[in-house]
Structure 1
């Protein structure tokens, strides 16, 4: 899965309509989130750092829920935006998820275990579990 990393509002113009998940590396306003949702009709999730998620208004959260868009906590560790505007979820993550599913683990247990094994937020792993079905 490719995650589009956005560092500022200046990058909104370069967003593609086919973006599925966007990581915001800045504190977004309600207008910023509305603009992204309008520009990207196929959007499934917006990921923001935990400290920023606490500042998102209840109105914006409700708007995202009504659009069927998940608001996820998380960071894009070690990503160099100057080299690539996308961060990739490693196929190894999906392989490990499938391996744990074959062992009969529940999705919540998989999310917890994968969070410990990787530096991915359990919120994001839960999204991957749903998206990977």
Structure 2
């Protein structure tokens, strides 16, 4: 699973329309979010750093809900955009999530443990849990 890291407004309009998970490494305006959803119609998740989450307007939150796009707080730890524009979630983390699900662990328990060990936000772990593991 890959997260497309976007570090500037100008990059939004050059994105592949098939992107599903995008991390915005800048403080987006309402116009930026609208542009992102328009450019990437298949988008499922927008991830923002914690400090930027507080500045997202209620109207954008509602717009994203209507579009069925999750807004998740989180970071891409240690990622260097100049080397690769994608942050890859290690397959070992996804395997760990699948194992814990098979063991019958609760969703909250999986989110907490994997978030701590895998340096992922619990919201992203929850997304992986719904996408990668069958119900």
TM-score range normalised by the length of the shorter chain: over 0.9
Instruction: Encode CA deviations 1:75-118: one digit per residue, 9 max, x unaligned.
Output: 01111100111111111011100110111101121101111212
Q: Equivalents in 2 of 1:56, 1:96: separation in Å? A: 32
SS of the residue corresponding to residue 13 of structure 2 reads: helix
Instruction: Encode CA deviations 1:39-96: one digit per residue, 9 max, x unaligned.
Output: 0011000000011001100000000000000000000111110011111111101110
Q: Under a length normalisation based on structure 1, what TM-score does the superposition of the two structures give?
A: 0.97
Once the two structures are TM-superposed, the CA of residue 119 in structure 1 deviates from its matched residue by: 1.1
Question: Structure 1 residue 89 and structure 2 residue 81: aligned?
Answer: no
> Could you say which residue in structure 2 is the equivalent of 1:70?
70
Instruction: For structure 2, list consecutive stretches of 5 or more residues without a partner in the other structure.
Output: none
Taking the TM superposition and a 5 Å limit, the aligned residue runs for 1:110-129 are 110-129=110-129
Matched length: 133
Q: Equivalents in 2 of 1:131, 1:104: separation in Å? A: 17
Q: Equivalents in 1 of 2:68, 2:83: separation in Å? A: 31
Q: Equivalents in 2 of 1:115, 1:102: separation in Å? A: 18
| Contact 2:13 2:35 (8 Å CA) reproduced | no
Root mean square deviation, CA, Å: 0.8
> Could you say which residue in structure 2 is the equivalent of 1:99?
99
Q: Equivalents in 2 of 1:69, 1:130: separation in Å? A: 14
Q: Under a length normalisation based on structure 2, what TM-score does the superposition of the two structures give?
A: 0.95
